[in-house]
Structure 1
Amino acid sequence: MASAPQVRAAVCDTAWTGVAGDGRWTTPGNWSAGVPTSSSNACLPLGSYTVSIIGESVQAKSLTIEAGPTLSIDELNCGAISAFLTLYGDSSNAGTINLANINDACGGTAQLTIISPFTLTNTGTIATTGCCRGDRELTGSVTNKGTVNVNHNGSNLFLHLDGAGLFDNQGTVTIGDSRTLVVSGGTGLEFRNDSGGSIAGNGITGQLILNNGNTFTQSAGTTTGNPVLVNGGATLRFTGSGASTFDLRGDGGPNTISGSTIAAAQTMTINIHGCGVVSSVANLAGSMTNAGTINLGNADDGCGGTAQLVIPSGSTLTNTGTIATTGCCRGDRELTGSVTNKGTINVNHNGSNLVLHLDGAGLFDNQGTVTIQGSRTLTNTNDTVIVEPGSTLGGPGSYAQGSPATLGVTVDAVHNTFTGIFCGEAVSVDGTLQVTTLGTPTFGSTWPIISCAGGRSGTFATFNFGGTNYTVLYPPNGVTLVAPRPSDPAIRASGTTFAPTEGQSFSGKVATFTDPDTAAMSSEYSATIDWGDATGTTTGTVSGASGTFSVSGTHTYAEESTYPVTVTITDVDNSSNSATAHSTANVGDAALSSNCAMPQFTQQSYTGPTATFTDASSTGALNDFSATISWGDGPSSSGTITGGPGTAPYTVSGRHTYTSTGSFTIATTIKDVGGSSTTATCTVIVFAFPTSNQATFVIGDLEATLLNSVSWWSNQWAQLNPMSGGPAPTTMKGFSGFEDNPLGLPPACGGSWTTDTGNATPPPPSVPEFMGVIVSSKITQSGSVVSGDIKEIVIVKNNPGYAPDPGHPGTGTVVAVVCRG
């Protein structure tokens, strides 16, 4: 007999009293404030009694079941009358909730629904009870801290978890033999096996099944008995280390594996099953670690299909636990993508297709143990398999490698060990062999990197030896490497910068290089120099010792510029041991030198050379130069250049007319297009004869010494100008009128002159500052004609005071001799 409900301390809108006595939810007299509705909070207080919902649909805003009461949601009769309880708020159960079929109803549903986003927290018991048919459903979010027991009898032995919620298991879930807890497909529900949680799949087939579209999160909870069946198209997430087992099938499509680590006490088996050839594919969501066990299996001798674990591109599965092929009998096993194995991989399944395929063009980095059991084969389809030092890959079985694949091994000459493939049955090779060498193997030493007792077929197509060019031998049972002669130590070259001069032969250092072999001699190297000016290469001279050397060469650059110089050094005994230095030649413009080329004196109109110059470059040409003449009186003009080429002399000429006499400094500047320049300066006396017909004055030869003061016009001329040929007539006042020179030719040394006596031929009204003057050694008179010789012509710098009247004498100083007769 049920005990009466106890008074609740908590406030409820309506509480169970059971006063009506029929135990039915829908009887108003059983509630303190009438039957609950979607807006009322209902309570089943403490006590030992049963509240039944029989073939009815009822609801409450929330429901609180305290310890003791039992709420039974019952299907009814063969009219398939369902029973539903819908909760619209957070609820709790400390008592018992049964999803039941009280009298073997032919169908229908016993369903408890918690509307999102609310949660039912169970600290008591939720059970499936009764017999025999019909569905049991728990819909929405549940936090189980108590017990969920799937143990009803009959022909439809399922409890369905559905609805897009969270079933957070922190308690116990027990699934009886032949019963099933189903996380129904496509609903988006997450089953989380959390801390304190346990799932027991009892008997032969008691099991939790996760269907497509849902997620199972394995945290700190545990599973015992039968594994959790992940039935395809679902997600299995690992977030904790609770001991658990999972059976992954492909009925609903590929499954997804996520999380950081499969823990040591966790096992995941990817199973082919059935002769409908149902493959099972598990895709990792990203990189993760397996510290537990991953099996690639066949659950029930499926006729074919594939058990495949796929690691996406860019991600890696790091195995520190075990990966194995298990089960029987047919179907492929595939490990697709990049794997770093630090644990154990065991190829050991039974049947007729005993192959584990490595594929996906990934990197299989073996740092642990790979064992191929007898009659089994590990096939590297298109991966790069690296057998690291300290690892093993082999066993009683066979190894096969396809043409796109790579096998990487290590030869450790330091410790005299090596890695490779060692098997009891056959090996077939193709594709690429990659060898990493530690230390320097002894010349001619052999390294049997593949050895399989059942024999070898095939050869490698390509090799990556990493600088140690082994000879590859193919004995009947494997592959052997023969170590080459050690390579010469690599030489290293450095460039330099040097500064030749255009057109001049350069000889000097253009590069340096070092050789780690300090015993090497300069004769062991050759060098070529590309000077960078399109003239071809020349042979360099190598000098030095004790591992340090230099390269020198000789070359002439035609023009100034900056040139890239390439120096190639080669070991004469090993042409592959070479180095290149990149140097720079900063070629400068050759120097110019110049000299004055003008006479010491000239008349006012001058045409002729002003300077000569030379170029230190042997390749210079006329069009390399330009010249400017500064005449000393203000104007400048371009000079004309002749002569050359190369180092032959050049001449600069010009033309100029001075407007006055005097001493002038003429500067001739020559410039090379390359930037060099030179300037030649001349100091020149510009003089003139005082008349248009070149008539001028005369002095005696005994007075005509340089820097002597002379009188060239005076009443006393004869007394002031003694001559070696005797005294002059007294009628000579100093001016030679050149009456017999109608052409106006200038006087010439060795010639003669005539004039009238006195100043009958008028002298000029003025005279230039620097004046050409005749020097005579003898003067005679015949009648009214006075004549004399022209022994010299000198230049006199005149003093002021001259006038055409002999009473105003003309005087000056002899500053230069123009000519002598």
Structure 2
Amino acid sequence: MQYGTLRPGSSVTLVVSVNTSGNPGFGQTSCGAGPSDTVQGSGSRSCSFAFPNGASGFTNLGTLTFVAPSNAAPYGQVHMVAQVLDQNQAFILGVSLDGPGSFISPDPPVTMTLDSLSATEGQSFSGTLASFSDADAYGQPGMYFATIDWGDGSPNALPATISGWSVTGSHTYSEEGTYTVTITLRDSDTPYNYAIASGSATVADAALNATGRTVNTTNGFSDLAVAGFTDANPNPSLADFSGSIDWGDNSSSSAGIALSGDHFDVAGSHSYADLGAHTVSVHVCDVGGSCADATSQLLVYGLSTGGNFVIGDATSTAATFWGANWSASNPLGGGTAPAAFKGFANNPNAAPACGAGWSTTPGNSAGAPATVPTYMAVVVASSITQDGPRISGDSARVVIVKTDPGYGPDPAQAGTGTVVAVLCP
């Protein structure tokens, strides 16, 4: 009988159990040079061997022989077990009755190799973590269980799944970085037989996706959202983001980042030397390394002073917003405008708004400004009426008109241009 690798000072006790029925059989048990013993009827006999200091594995310490009862068959009514006392821990092991060369030891050690692990922050990782093997020819994967420490402060000893000779698991890392993953694999029926493997989990920063916008704004704006972006990490931290804006006029500035519903806005403050269209480039980054870029189109316009110019709602893109023949140049959906209206409304003296009414006085008395912006907000009216010296109308829409040269405050100096954008509705 061979004894496998045991630590010095361990001991092995062999027990032969005989269970007979009917006429009892007889057998003889001897342990090495010890006295003979007779197995009779039902019961058990035992003998012990010490594992001495300095002995190596697979050492022959002694032999146990017995004769089975005549009416008992191996693996049937004759049983042999070994009790191993290894560093004050007792383990019971089954022993086959194959005869000379039978092997008794704690289970051969299990070995485990950790696979490389790559994940993305905020996204669930699920897959194989490690593979293991058992030198025991009769070992089965189902005899083992495993726990995982993911290394990110989540509860330790989370259960893993044994799938064949592999350890699998699922986890979501909240932040990018490198984490130490530790897996402990244990034999369910031999607790001292275990393996521990540690390795690195490389968690990548989740991708950012930036989107440009088309924005219409007056000049000299503050905290204007010019682009937006999303993070593939479902639980991002606002403090992790930074951004910059290239305003397209050889100037740039840092960007403000703000959460807005299911995305983040990228905002900035700026004043252009010239009104009109400007291409803006936005660059945003996560502290973990992911970055994204977007291009936005800004149309910067101005307001007329003293009130607002008006065009008719049936006007095409070519617009006449001021002139002696304004009524003839601006058909309305709600009737013909009075001839006394030349195109400028001085009340209210404020930025135009959809749905708001306006009023003015006839002809030059409205006080049209001396100059107009190159890009200007203009009211679109569907109905204009006159009641004595007062002319009033509605604001069905507000548009931006790129004005042509030639405007003057006298109705004889017509103001014309092209509608290039709609502000509202």
Task: Normalising by structure 2, report the TM-score.
Answer: 0.70
Using the aligned pairs only, state the percent identity.
40
Name 1:497's counterpart in structure 2: 116
| 2:302 pairs with 1:712 | no
Distance 1:533 1:775 in 2: 61
| 2:225 pairs with 1:603 | no
Name 1:527's counterpart in structure 2: 146
SS of structure 1 residue aligned to 2:327: helix
Distance 1:666 1:558 in 2: 33
Counterpart of 2:124, as a letter, is S
Aligned 1:451-600 pairs, distance under 5 A: 463-468=53-58, 485-517=104-136, 519-535=138-154, 536-544=156-164, 549-595=165-211, 600=215
SS of structure 2 residue aligned to 1:500: strand
SS of structure 2 residue aligned to 1:749: coil
Residue pair 1:502, 1:556 contacting (<8 A) in 2 also: yes
Name 1:701's counterpart in structure 2: 313
SS of structure 1 residue aligned to 2:363: coil
Aligned 1:799-814 pairs, distance under 5 A: 799-814=404-419
Distance 1:620 1:469 in 2: 61
RMSD: 3.7
Distance 2:33 2:54 in 1: 17
Counterpart of 2:162, as a letter, is V
Distance 1:797 1:722 in 2: 20
Residue pair 1:469, 1:484 contacting (<8 A) in 2 also: no
Counterpart of 1:752, as a letter, is G
Q: Report the CA distance shift for 1:558/1:447 in structure 2 as closer, same or farther (over 3 A).
A: farther
Cα offset for 1:552?
Answer: 0.8
Name 2:27's counterpart in structure 1: none
Cα offset for 1:730?
Answer: 2.9
* Shift >6 Å, 4+ stretches: 442-445, 469-473
SS of structure 1 residue aligned to 2:364: coil
Can you give the 5+ residue segments of structure 2 that lack an aligned partner in the other structure?
17-29, 35-48, 64-83, 85-101
Cα offset for 1:470?
Answer: 7.7
Counterpart of 1:493, as a letter, is M
| 2:292 pairs with 1:678 | yes
Counterpart of 1:766, as a letter, is T
Counterpart of 2:57, as a letter, is G
Q: Which of these residues, 754, 762, 766, is aligned with residue 371 of structure 2? A: 766
Counterpart of 2:217, as a letter, is T
Q: Report the CA distance shift for 1:486/1:412 in structure 2 as closer, same or farther (over 3 A).
A: closer
Q: Report the CA distance shift for 1:578/1:806 in structure 2 as closer, same or farther (over 3 A).
A: same
Q: Report the CA distance shift for 1:805/1:663 in structure 2 as closer, same or farther (over 3 A).
A: same
Residue pair 1:443, 1:485 contacting (<8 A) in 2 also: no
Q: Report the CA distance shift for 1:611/1:723 in structure 2 as closer, same or farther (over 3 A).
A: same
Q: Report the CA distance shift for 1:756/1:463 in structure 2 as closer, same or farther (over 3 A).
A: same
Larger Rg: 1
Distance 1:499 1:750 in 2: 57
Q: Which of these residues, 778, 786, 790, is aligned with residue 395 of structure 2? A: 790
Q: Report the CA distance shift for 1:786/1:558 in structure 2 as closer, same or farther (over 3 A).
A: closer
Cα offset for 1:775?
Answer: 1.6
Distance 1:532 1:672 in 2: 22
Q: Report the CA distance shift for 1:566/1:713 in structure 2 as closer, same or farther (over 3 A).
A: same
Counterpart of 1:819, as a letter, is C
Distance 1:495 1:522 in 2: 16
Residue pair 2:51, 2:61 contacting (<8 A) in 1 also: no
Cα offset for 1:637?
Answer: 3.1
Cα offset for 1:551?
Answer: 0.7
Counterpart of 1:590, as a letter, is A
Distance 1:754 1:412 in 2: 111
| 2:245 pairs with 1:625 | no
Alpha-carbon displacement from aligned partner over 1:218-263 (angstroms, at most 9, x marks no partner): xxxxxxxxxxxxxxxxxxxxxxxxxxxxxxxxxxxxxxxxxxxxxx
Residue pair 1:443, 1:486 contacting (<8 A) in 2 also: no
Counterpart of 2:221, as a letter, is Y
Alpha-carbon displacement from aligned partner over 1:772-810 (angstroms, at most 9, x marks no partner): 112223334455554433332211122333344444432
Can you give the 5+ residue segments of structure 1 that lack an aligned partner in the other structure?
1-410, 414-432, 436-441, 450-458, 474-481
Distance 2:106 2:286 in 1: 53
Residue pair 1:624, 1:672 contacting (<8 A) in 2 also: yes
Name 2:353's counterpart in structure 1: 748
Residue pair 1:712, 1:811 contacting (<8 A) in 2 also: yes
Distance 2:221 2:386 in 1: 37
Residue pair 1:688, 1:771 contacting (<8 A) in 2 also: yes
Distance 1:770 1:702 in 2: 21
Name 2:275's counterpart in structure 1: 661
Cα offset for 1:497?
Answer: 0.8
Distance 1:563 1:791 in 2: 61
Residue pair 1:595, 1:681 contacting (<8 A) in 2 also: yes
Q: Report the CA distance shift for 1:512/1:701 in structure 2 as closer, same or farther (over 3 A).
A: same
SS of structure 2 residue aligned to 1:464: coil
Name 2:343's counterpart in structure 1: 734
Aligned 1:70-85 pairs, distance under 5 A: none
SS of structure 1 residue aligned to 2:230: strand
Distance 2:263 2:33 in 1: 79
Cα offset for 1:723?
Answer: 1.7
SS of structure 2 residue aligned to 1:759: helix
Q: Report the CA distance shift for 1:802/1:648 in structure 2 as closer, same or farther (over 3 A).
A: closer
Residue pair 1:496, 1:582 contacting (<8 A) in 2 also: no
Cα offset for 1:631?
Answer: 3.7
SS of structure 1 residue aligned to 2:119: coil
Cα offset for 1:718?
Answer: 1.9
Name 1:326's counterpart in structure 2: none
Q: Report the CA distance shift for 1:526/1:788 in structure 2 as closer, same or farther (over 3 A).
A: closer
Aligned 1:224-623 pairs, distance under 5 A: 446-448=31-33, 463-468=53-58, 485-517=104-136, 519-535=138-154, 536-544=156-164, 549-595=165-211, 600-607=215-222, 608-623=224-239
Q: Report the CA distance shift for 1:725/1:650 in structure 2 as closer, same or farther (over 3 A).
A: closer
Residue pair 2:352, 2:378 contacting (<8 A) in 1 also: no
Name 1:108's counterpart in structure 2: none
Residue pair 2:2, 2:60 contacting (<8 A) in 1 also: no
Name 1:687's counterpart in structure 2: 301
| 2:335 pairs with 1:723 | no
Distance 2:182 2:400 in 1: 65
Distance 1:813 1:699 in 2: 11
Name 1:154's counterpart in structure 2: none
Aligned 1:12-51 pairs, distance under 5 A: none
Q: Report the CA distance shift for 1:818/1:470 in structure 2 as closer, same or farther (over 3 A).
A: same
Distance 1:688 1:728 in 2: 26
Distance 1:620 1:782 in 2: 61
Distance 1:784 1:465 in 2: 121
Name 1:177's counterpart in structure 2: none
Q: Report the CA distance shift for 1:713/1:577 in structure 2 as closer, same or farther (over 3 A).
A: same
Query: Number of residue pairs matched?
Result: 352
Cα offset for 1:628?
Answer: 2.6
Cα offset for 1:595?
Answer: 4.1
Q: Report the CA distance shift for 1:713/1:468 in structure 2 as closer, same or farther (over 3 A).
A: same
SS of structure 1 residue aligned to 2:300: strand
Alpha-carbon displacement from aligned partner over 1:607-641 (angstroms, at most 9, x marks no partner): 44344443333443222222333444443333333
Residue pair 2:312, 2:381 contacting (<8 A) in 1 also: yes
Distance 2:50 2:136 in 1: 35
Q: Report the CA distance shift for 1:576/1:748 in structure 2 as closer, same or farther (over 3 A).
A: closer
SS of structure 2 residue aligned to 1:559: coil
Distance 1:798 1:518 in 2: 90
SS of structure 2 residue aligned to 1:617: coil
SS of structure 2 residue aligned to 1:581: strand
